[in-house]
């Protein structure tokens, strides 16, 4: 399974990845699925689509699930109870809640809507001007 990787030594904190995410998901209100780690300099962190995802195990409604075929952790907004247990359980801190009125969990979905030849084609990888974000075999 391929996962998004970030090389922090190449990242300049331009946040083009955030804009690419917004464009890819056609968010008219700037909602994005990229979490920014700003402890030292702004840099993206992405859902790792864990082998044993804590967010899936703590989700009582089944809104978070692991696709056995693709290996991706998926989110179903319609099943979500907005309890935010998945956010609390994620050891990497990559899940975030959308604005209160939406009550939606925002997480990287590897731009599954842009899949080509059965391969995900995340727009953040495609648009990163420094080549800091790559798609690699895990």
Residue 22 lies in a domain: yes
CATH of the domain at 67: 3.30.70.20
Q: What is the pLDDT of residue 33?
A: 86
Tally of domains in the chain = 1
Chain centre distance of CA 77: 14
Higher pLDDT, 65 or 137: 65
Q: Are 137 and 18 in contact (CB under 8 A)?
A: no
Q: What is the pLDDT of residue 99?
A: 66
Q: What is the pLDDT of residue 100?
A: 62
**Own/partner pairs for 54-59, CB < 8 Å, 24+ apart?**
54/86, 54/89, 54/90, 54/91, 55/86, 55/87, 55/89, 55/90, 55/95, 56/86, 57/89, 58/85, 58/86, 58/88, 58/89, 59/85, 59/86
Residue 8 lies in a domain: yes
Domain that holds residue 63: 2-127
Q: What is the pTM of this model?
A: 0.85
């Amino acid at each position: 399974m391929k996962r998004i990787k970030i090389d922090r030594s190449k990242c300049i904190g331009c946040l083009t990845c955030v804009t690419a995410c917004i464009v890819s998901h056609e968010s008219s209100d700037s909602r994005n699925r990229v979490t920014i780690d700003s402890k030292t300099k702004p840099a993206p962190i992405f859902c790792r689509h864990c082998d044993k995802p804590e967010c899936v195990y703590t989700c009582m409604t089944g809104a978070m699930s692991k696709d056995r075929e693709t290996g991706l952790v998926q989110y179903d907004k319609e099943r979500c109870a907005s309890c935010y247990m998945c956010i609390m359980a994620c050891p990497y801190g990559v899940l975030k809640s959308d604005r209160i009125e939406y009550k939606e969990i925002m997480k990287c979905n590897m731009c599954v809507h842009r899949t080509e030849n059965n391969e995900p084609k995340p727009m953040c990888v495609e648009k990163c001007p420094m080549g800091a974000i790559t798609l690699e075999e895990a």
